[in-house]
Amino acid sequence: MGSEYHFLLRKKWYSDPADTDPTYIRTAVMKPQHQRQEHTASYYAATARDTTRYPVLQGACTADICIVGAGFTGIASALTLAERGYSVAVVEANRVGWGASGRNGGQLIGGFTGEQKIIKRFGQDVARTIWDMRWRGHEIVHERVQKYSIACDLKSGYIDVAKNRRETGYLEEDFANLEKYCFPWDYRLLSKEETQSTLGTGAYAAGLINMRNGHLHPLDLCAGEARAAHHLGVQIFEQSPVSNIVHGRKPRVETAHGHVEANTVLLAGHVFHRLEQQRLSGTTFQAGSFIMATEPLPEAIRNEINPQDLAVCEVSNIIDYYRLSADGRLLYGGRTNYSGRVPASIRASLEPRMLKVYPGLKGVRIDYEWGGSIGIVIRRIPMVGRIDDNIYYVQGYSGHGVNTTHIMGEIVADAIGGTMERFDLFAKMPQIRIPGGNAFGNQIVALGMLYYRLKDLL
């Protein structure tokens, strides 16, 4: 399944104009009344089919499980738990899908960061479990889209692309693993010429097509799952930042205007929350990337640059990723930022990169530009664990997420029901905590990524 290094390469590192201000994190949690936000001005928000409007949490409420955060982690978990008969309340500071889940590249990619580290620690016995797990999120997404009729432009088809011989080696390694595990979906290693005719660019040395991966409108998926959960009885509260959690036999999740009393709490606030700092500070750091959307491209151009409608992802250390939207725009993402700074113009920083791949797109109008934050953990192993017997957390996917969040939602729901096998694979992995907390940690992440950026140039 590729080297650990390879997995690191393909992770996405993102940041966002509204969110990269570190004061947001403090004020959003500690002074919530000033910080409730609407969706960022993304292509997804502009084209969302389902504009969620759930009430603010006011007064007292009870549930078996209270989930903090309504991104994919929170919503996917809520839906799994509701399907299993639990009563659930989800409390969101802003809107369903407001964070990374509603503004990402929309690429449904197999695997999660840190796979090799887990196998190294627990031995080859768990390799098959990890392999199956790396595709489980796809199954959940496909099942839900069908079962709950969620319109989210879900499409199969994805290609990893390599720029040089070294990166081609990563694709060959991935290909060997697909062979080894008798991967039942279509996949194919492409030569330079085949990659060129698949993507209409000579920018790449090779490609690996995987038809199990794909792409979708992430905000529509998140909102659609939230609606399905709501129909199953999940109480969802928006514009309700959680300011505190009181521990106990029945923990209490508090906001400015109300609280939820539950048997169990799940923290799914990603990189934005500053709850439970005694245990979690200095573990998850904010990084960012940016996306722009062109105007809808004429059919002739779409057929030239991506006739199979694949999601495309580079395998360099610092990746670019792109795909066509359902209405024919090129959504081009990349331009990683590890310091929390936002480029003066997202378009100005991304457009030259797009034109390097597709010079023929010079002059196309850019209709949207936005960014988002991801949570990076130093060892790249998703942070899954418990603060108390009844307070769980799941965060820090280091770039992956559409697939991984759905896997984690199921794993944490299993754990709440008493099945710990897959949960423990993550929970027992040691994590690194940076003394000095979050600001200092971000400098370390920035330095680490500078190293990888230089490696790309060598």
Ligand X SMILES: Cc1cc2nc3c(=O)[nH]c(=O)nc-3n(C[C@H](O)[C@H](O)[C@H](O)COP(=O)(O)OP(=O)(O)OC[C@H]3O[C@@H](n4cnc5c(N)ncnc54)[C@H](O)[C@@H]3O)c2cc1C
* Minimum CB–partner distance for residue 168 and ligand X (Å): 22
Our CA dihedral for 431, 432, 433, 438, rounded to 10 degrees, sits at -100
Of the pair 316, 373, the CB lying nearest ligand X is at 373
* Minimum CB–partner distance for residue 261 and ligand X (Å): 16
Q: Which region holds residue 11: left if phi is over 0, alpha if psi is between -120 and 50, else beta?
A: beta
Distance CA 148, CA 79 (A): 11
- Position 269 contacts ligand X (CB under 6 A): yes
Maximum CA extent, the chain: 63
What's the one-letter identity of residue 260?
V
Q: Interface residues for ligand X in 319-378 (CB under 6 A)?
A: 333, 371-374
Of the pair 2, 105, the CB lying nearest ligand X is at 105
- Position 224 contacts ligand X (CB under 6 A): no
Of the pair 171, 319, the CB lying nearest ligand X is at 319
Q: Interface residues for ligand X in 3-42 (CB under 6 A)?
A: 12, 14, 29
Per-residue x/- track, 385-414, ligand X (CB under 6 A): ----------x-x-xxxxx-x---------
Of the pair 74, 251, the CB lying nearest ligand X is at 74
Stretch that binds ligand X, among 154-162, 163-171, 265-273, 296-304 (CB under 6 A): 265-273
E-state strands within 342-424? 366-377, 383-388, 391-395
Q: Mapped to the 3 state alphabet, what secondary structure does 71-109 carry?
A: CHHHHHHHHHHHHCCCCEEEECCCCCCCCHHHCCCCEEC
Stretch that binds ligand X, among 69-77, 195-203, 226-234, 339-347 (CB under 6 A): 69-77
Distance CA 414, CA 392 (A): 12
* Minimum CB–partner distance for residue 90 and ligand X (Å): 9
Q: Interface residues for ligand X in 93-152 (CB under 6 A)?
A: 93-94, 98-101, 103-107, 109
- Cα dist from 152 to 11, 146, 215, whole Å: 23, 11, 9
Among 44, 272, 285, 338, binds ligand X (CB under 6 A): 272
Among 2, 17, 69, 157, binds ligand X (CB under 6 A): 69
- Position 73 contacts ligand X (CB under 6 A): yes
The alpha carbon of residue 455 and the mean position of all alpha carbons in its chain are separated, in whole angstroms, by: 25
* Minimum CB–partner distance for residue 265 and ligand X (Å): 12
* Minimum CB–partner distance for residue 42 and ligand X (Å): 9
Lookup result for tokens 């989800």: 90
DSSP string over 32-53: GGGT-----S-HHHHH-S----
Please answer whether residues 349 and 335 qualify as being in contact, where contact means their C-beta atoms are separated by less than 8 angstroms.
yes
Among 39, 136, 155, 270, binds ligand X (CB under 6 A): 270
Of the pair 109, 357, the CB lying nearest ligand X is at 109
Residues binding ligand X: what is the number (CB under 6 A)?
Answer: 47
| Residue 30 CB coordination number (10 Å) | 13
Please answer whether residues 75 and 96 qualify as being in contact, where contact means their C-beta atoms are separated by less than 8 angstroms.
yes
- Position 289 contacts ligand X (CB under 6 A): yes
Local structure of 287: helix, strand or coil: strand
Q: Which residues bind ligand X (CB under 6 A)?
A: 12, 14, 29, 68-74, 91-94, 98-101, 103-107, 109, 241-242, 268-270, 272-273, 275, 289, 291, 333, 371-374, 395, 397, 399-403, 405
